[in-house]
Every structure is written in C-alpha cells, then in structure tokens.
Structure 1
C-alpha cells in the first residue's frame, strides 16, 4: 500500500500538520475509502454531523443527569469521529486526485459548525451557556485570523497553544473524566475547561494575528486597499 505522505498531501503551508497522516492505520483507512470512491465533501459532512451530535450529547448530560455517564462517553467518541473525518477528507481528496470548486468551503465551514456545537454543548453541560459561547467565539477567532491571513497572502498559521486539536483533546479528556469518576471528583471542571479554552484560544488568535502581520510585512509590498 502506498503511503499518502505529508508532502504528497500538499501540506506545505496550507494544511494543518497532523502526524497521524503518516501512520499505517490512517493510510489503510484512507486507502479503503479511496477504493470505494468516497466523496471528500461527504466525509466532511459526516464529520460535521458527528460534531453536532457530540454537542447534543454533551448538552444532554445536563438535560438528563441520570444518563450523564453514557452521554459523556458518547460525546467523547463523537468528537474523535469528527477529528477522524477531518483527517480523512483531505487524504481521500489527495488519494483520488479530485478537487471541488467548493472544496475550501467544505474544508472550513463544517469545522466551525462542529467547534461551535461542541463548545456550546459543553457550556450547557457546565450550566454556563455564556462560557460556552465565549469559548466558541474565541475558537472562531483563531480560524478567522488564519483564513484572513491566508487570503491576504500569508501562509496558513496553525500555531497554538489552543488550536482545534488541543481544544478537542481537552474536551475529550474532560468527557472521559466525567464519565469514569465520581461526581465529587468533577466539581467545576467543565467550567474551568471552558475558561481555559477561552483564554488560551484568545492567546492563540493573538499569536496568529501578530505572526500573520509579520509575514505580510516581510513579503512583497501590499497592494493599496480600495476605498469604499
């Protein structure tokens, strides 16, 4: 089986660096999907559906406390399924050699929907919708600055400390902790997780903004901006 390497995937400066792309299981699954002519956009849609369901599962821990433990586990599994779809859509697109005029929309929009659903769901689980909204907006800012910088001519900036993988890893770890430990051990952990995501995602957005500004200043002279 031919490995779909990071370089072959066209990662350059415009694809998020993910070590799992070069692992045997990831390549085996991508090859299986490629032989079945899976649609990269369809995989992205499936990942978005998993993200939406993950948010509902997390919110459900507050709506149905008696079912909280299985819902925490379900939320964690769906988050990882969402990330797996994020990994596969690009690998399948490269492996099949297909491109879509709306591929960039499918690459970005499902991620924003999934991030928002998961973080709002965690906010409801923590009985703090405002914190869930704050974390969602901070996460959105990291992506907005990256895509705006790329549109302006800078390389895509995927730096952390609270990029998508870190956000989802933290929520997954929290969900498993809440599923497997006594209630007395959980306390306000969901609240503190949201505070950490909000603060560190805001720091991430600031780092990306400053890094993108440096990249644009050091590049070719910017064209004059048109007036309204």
Structure 2
C-alpha cells in the first residue's frame, strides 16, 4: 500500500488514540501483512457465530458476530496505518491488502444469510450479498487498472456493508430475545444487496465518464 491516493479515505485515522495504537503496533515485530491475514480470522469467527446461531439461536452469538466484524475492520484500518505511517510497506502489501477482504466479505455475508430463520431463502440472499460485495471491489480494482481514479464511493462500500451488519447483529440479538424472530438480518442483507447494485452502477458510470471525457 504505497500509493496514498489508493487508500480508502477514513477520518478515524486522525483520531489520536488510533494513531497511538498504530505507532505501538509499528514498534513491534508485527507486519501489515500479518494484520491483514488476522482480519480473515476475525471474519471466520463471525461466520462461525452466524452458523452456530443458525443452529442454536442464542442471542449472544449475534453479539459475538458483530464484535468480530468490528475487529475485522480494525485489522483493515491498522494494516494500512502500520504499512504507511509506520513505514513497513512491502511490495506484496497490495496483495495482502486486497485478497483477505475478498475472502472476509463473503464469509460474513453468506453465513449471515444462513442464520436467517424467518424466510426460506436466507442462504440464497447471503450468497447474493457476498457476490455483489466482491463485484463492487472488482469494479474498483478494474477501473484503477485501466487508469481511472480509485473509487471508493458507496452507498455500500466495505465499511458501509460492515456497519449495516454490525448494527443488524445488535438489533437482531434484541429481536430474538423479545420476539424470537430475526427480520433485522433479513432487512440488512436486502439493503446490502440493493446498495451494492447501486454502488456497482455508480462506480461503473464514474469510470466511463472519466475515460470518455
């Protein structure tokens, strides 16, 4: 991750405590690539939580899934900060920055679909969300490879998808306690699918206009 223009714009990088923790990580024998791989482990923990919830329907499994999703995002934040601000960027950094995300997104979204009990098509919806999430990233990478500016616009970029899923986990845990339903997860995945379609269209149109200008 050597090109600052190719970084996702995040205001949280300016928070002092975040910078201090990034500096702490940079001072240790920890590489950005290791942090990137750790993000997949947290995504796998979220996936495991969703699959266990599909069997047991314990509300705390949804909380665990939400916490794991946020830990995944923190890894995504700190791998870049350790690489750039910490001066530990490597030639293979772009691979480790991108490939783990393409694994983590489907892990979370697909298994969230299987966790839905209120309808019979939750699994299919999860697969749809996972594929569309990968598609948004593919269009971004494709556009950058053909010379257009790196485009992180939403409405359902990675941080937006994971924010929706985190809130869904929190609200669904309350829903399962009081009503024994999980409509929140269903609504969240529908919003992610629709938002990803819009995101793909917006990024494609932006690239087209740039190339044809």
Aligned length: 208
TM-score, normalised by the number of residues in structure 2: 0.92
Segments of structure 1 that go 5 or more residues without pairing to the other structure are: 1-8, 219-228
- Is 2:195 aligned against 1:203? no
Q: Which residue of 2 aligns with 1:52?
A: 44
What displacement does 1:11 show? 6.7
Contact 2:32–2:83, Cα closer than 8 Å, also in 1 = yes
CA distance in 1, matches of 2:199, 2:180: 30
Structure (1/2) with the larger helix percentage:
2
Q: Which residue of 2 aligns with 1:135?
A: 129
What displacement does 1:25 show? 1.4
**Within 5 Å, which residues of 2 pair with 1:37-186?**
37-65=29-57, 68-127=58-117, 128-181=122-175, 182-184=177-179, 186=181
Contact 1:52–1:113, Cα closer than 8 Å, also in 2 = no
CA distance in 2, matches of 1:185, 1:165: 29
CA distance in 2, matches of 1:151, 1:47: 25
The structure that has the greater radius of gyration is 1
RMSD of aligned Cα (Å): 1.7
TM-score, normalised by the number of residues in structure 1: 0.86
Q: Which moved more, 1:147-156 or 1:53-62?
A: 53-62
Q: Deviations over 1:78-107 (max 9, x none)?
A: 000000000000100113323323211101
What displacement does 1:215 show? 1.7
Q: Deviations over 1:152-202 (max 9, x none)?
A: 111110000011111101110010112234342745221121111101111
Contact 1:162–1:200, Cα closer than 8 Å, also in 2 = yes
What displacement does 1:12 show? 4.5
**Within 5 Å, which residues of 2 pair with 1:6-17?**
12-17=4-9
**Alignment CA distance shift 1:139-1:64 (3 Å):** same
Residue number among 209, 213, 216 corresponding to 2:211 in the alignment: 216
